[in-house]
């Protein structure tokens, strides 16, 4: 089952339930092989590449989706 880690960077003023691809400030996707990898790659990508910090009034949301196609 091909999966995709979807890393969403949302404004702190956006409720977690409302943090989606449409409302995110930034969206990064990465292919993963297993569901457990979604959280790991999300944390690593957020911490290194996106440099998301709470004092910037942003937070990270990671979702695992099935790849289309």
pLDDT of residue 47: 64
Q: Which of 69, 64, 63 is nearest to 3 (CA)?
A: 64
pLDDT of residue 2: 86
pLDDT of residue 27: 92
The DSSP call for residue 50 is I
| Bridge partners, residue 5, by sequence | 30, 64
pLDDT single digits (tens) 10-43: 999 999 999 999 999 999 998 999 888 988 887 7
The residue among 44 and 34 whose pLDDT is bigger is 34
CA dist., res. 58 & res. 53, Å (int): 6
CA dist., res. 58 & res. 37, Å (int): 23
């Amino acid at each position: 089952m091909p999966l995709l880690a979807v890393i969403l960077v949302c404004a702190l003023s956006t409720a977690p339930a409302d943090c989606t691809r449409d409302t995110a400030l930034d969206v990064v996707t990465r292919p993963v092989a297993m569901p457990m990898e979604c959280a790991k790659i999300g944390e690593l990508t957020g911490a290194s590449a996106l440099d998301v910090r709470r004092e910037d009034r942003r937070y990270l949301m990671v979702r695992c989706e099935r790849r289309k196609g």
